[in-house]
Structure 1
Amino acid sequence: MEVKIDTTITWVIKNFSSLQSESLYSDNFVAGGCKWRLWAFPKGNKRANHFSLYLNVRDKESLPIGWRRHAKFSLTVVNKYSEKLSRLRETHHWFEHKAPDWGFPEMISLTELNAKEGFLVKGDLTVVAEIEVLEVVGKLDVSEESSSVMETIDVNGFYVLPSQVDSVKRLFEIHLDLASKFRPKNPHLKTAYMNFLLSLTETLCQSTQELSNEDLSDAGASLAYLKKAGFKLDWLEKKLDEIKEKKKKEEACLARLQEINEQLTPLKQKCLDLEAQIDKEKEELLAARAPL
């Protein structure tokens, strides 16, 4: 019997609204000497109009006879726009051969999930699980696996994926007061805000040719949303203004080019007509000079 530390993982369910499968699993992650995964029912498990979510021990048959895992865990359906709207549920359970999964058949109603903005962002649903394995009976060494379910890393109080660590560190190195007035305290919501900021910075690194005016309008709304949460983003606002100005110049250049092309088209045709007339006159000239 032994004590284990907490494990935090994030699972992004892509295209949630269009899923046809009755249930689906996250990738595996390791805690307490065994493999775990999240088990989701997009249309509910014996609960109509609900999203059901469970924590499940994977490959239970491979564990030693009499294995047990006492785990305290929380599952959160993240609302990226509002900390208060995020749905958090907590429980604890002795996982064993006869009861390898435990969770919440009524995690959140589909009506609420689809009606309130922030749960489904571009069709994707984000779930965060925090698991603390309190006691382990029947130890089995299990190596870590490559997985799309990632443990998060703390960078200045923001839990981000390993692939995002360098980008977030650079933000804080360049802009020391970036989050000095950031208000939300919920770690899942903080992660959602940081992902939102990273996405916005990536968008604004695109060329004006790749960005539409609608994109820039959305970027402005996103920037206002992030500033309202307390991020200090004067530098990003300045960059957005510069991009908008460049976009105006691009559109002005395109308009002038179109106007010039419209003026040039009839002139080109006139040149072609004159060249044809010259060829005709040359033929008549040759015929006039030909000896009898």
Structure 2
Amino acid sequence: MESEEVDNKFTWVIKNFSTLQYDKIYSDPFVIGGCKWHLLAYPKGNKFNNSLSLYLVVDDARALPCGWRRYAQFSLTIINQLTDKLSQRGEKQNWFNQRNLGSGFTSMIPLPNLHAKNAGYLVNGEVKIVVEINDLEVIGKLDVSEESEETNQPLKKIKLDDNDAVSFDSLNETSPVKESIDVNGFQVLPSQVESVKCIFERHPDFASKFRPKNRHLKSTYMTVLLGLIKTLCQLPEELTDDDLDEASVAVSYVENGGLRLDWLEKKLAEVKAKKKKVETGKARLQRAEEELQKLNQKCLELKAFLEKENADVSEANVPLSFEDVV
């Protein structure tokens, strides 16, 4: 296996993919934003589906201090080596901690599509995977100090030390800078403008007591908030208990900065209730389906019994002939 680390991207080249004998494989560790990571893949699919599963995982978590947490917005891409338009990309945001070391996708691409001849995903026995981490927030200490990193990462990072003091790692002057737009004092990306405007329209006072003045910190709080909203917009059955626990932690973190999120707390409680309703409803559905299968089996047995009885009745309900009587 080969790997390449560039800025906030890491490329993993898996050789001899079709002949791998392992149920799961790991990339080499890599560093992005001063944090160590590795990728985890299930080349034969997992027990739930026949698709390639892929996850971003915190590396060497045992070496991290008690109470560490990381928030990351990242993407995982299965590269199509014939045309980039067909590359399979998934985006996600997640809080990582000791209970939740990894996050990703159980179904990145169906295995038949991945192995299909001339499809472009498996070329010369190689599969290429790219992970990109766009925003990273670290609570605790970085795995690798900025001084020891070979290159400055063009990645926005916020680091909270053990005393919850906040410091910023400025972007490299030579790094590409995305255009930002001011919305009520928050610098946001063009793709975020309408969402942020909508939040202020519906909750005009939610940032009236917001304490941080640093524009980078303000942008990060808003990014976390938008990530929370995006999480709550997922199907309840797709959210894990860890997802909802991390959402609760994130709400508390953002509220500590002075944002009023009582409206979001209500929606979070609503999503939790919906998830519970979905889980109990699915359990009832499963029991009902099992009962229906039993009833269907009984119907089949009764139908077979009726057919046999009809045949017996038809056979018995035949008059005797004169010859039979005499």
| TM-score, scaled to structure 2 | 0.49
Corresponding residue of 1:79:
158
- Residue 250 (str. 1) matches residue 314 (str. 2): no
Alignment of 1:35-46 (within 5 A): none
Residue 13 of structure 1 pairs with residue 13 of structure 2: no
1:235 paired with 2:314, answer no
Q: Secondary structure at the residue paired with 1:239?
A: helix
1:194 to 200, 212, 222: 222
Distance 1:262 1:80, change over 3 A: farther
Alignment-derived partner of residue 93 in structure 1: none
User: Partner letter of residue 53 of structure 1?
Assistant: N
RCO comparison, higher one (Cα < 8 Å, 6+): 1
Secondary structure of the residue that 2:236 maps to in structure 1?
Answer: coil
Structure 1 residues 76 and 257 mapped into 2: Cα distance closer, same or farther (>3 Å)?
Answer: closer
Aligned length: 182
Instruction: Indicate the residue corresponding to 2:149 in structure 1.
Output: 50
Q: Secondary structure at the match of 1:197?
A: helix
Structure 1 residue 149: deviation in Å?
A: 4.4
Distance 1:129 1:49, change over 3 A: closer
For residues 92-147 of structure 1, give each alpha carbon's deviation from its aligned partner in whole angstroms, at most 9, with x where no partner exists: xxxxxxxxxxxxxxxxxxxxxxxxxxxxxxxxxxxx3569xxxxxxxxxxxxxxxx
| Alpha-carbon separation, structure 2, partners of 1:76 and 1:18 | 15
Q: 1:166 to 1:129 in 2, by over 3 A?
A: farther
DSSP-derived class of the 1:85 partner: strand
User: Partners in 1 of 2:31 and 2:259 — Cα distance?
Assistant: 35
Deviation readout 1:23-56 (Å, 9 max, x if unpaired): xxxxxxxxxxxxxxxxxxxxx9xx99414239xx
Q: Are the aligned partners of 2:8 and 2:155 in contact in 1 as well (CA < 8 Å)?
A: no
Q: Hey, what does 2:248 align to over in structure 1?
A: 220
Structure-1 separation of matches of 2:222 and 2:229: 11
CA distance in structure 1 between the partners assigned to 2:172 and 2:230 by the alignment: 27
- What is the alpha-carbon root mean square deviation over aligned residues? 3.3
Q: Which residue of 2 aligns with 1:114?
A: none
Counterpart of 2:309? 281
Deviations 1:234-285 (A, max 9, x none): 0000111111111111112112222223333333222211111111111222
Distance 1:183 1:76 in 2: 24
The equivalences for 1:261-272 within 5 A come to 261-272=289-300
1-side partners of 2:10 and 2:199: how far apart?
30
**TM-score, normalising length from structure 1?**
0.54
**Cα distance between partner residues in 1 of 2:155 and 2:235:** 37
Letter in 1 for 2:152: L
- Give unmatched runs, 5+ long, in structure 1: 1-11, 21-43, 55-74, 89-127, 132-147
Q: Measured at CA, do residues 150 and 178 of structure 1 come closer, stay the same or move farther in structure 2, by a change above 3 Å? A: same
Q: 1:77 to 1:216 in 2, by over 3 A?
A: closer
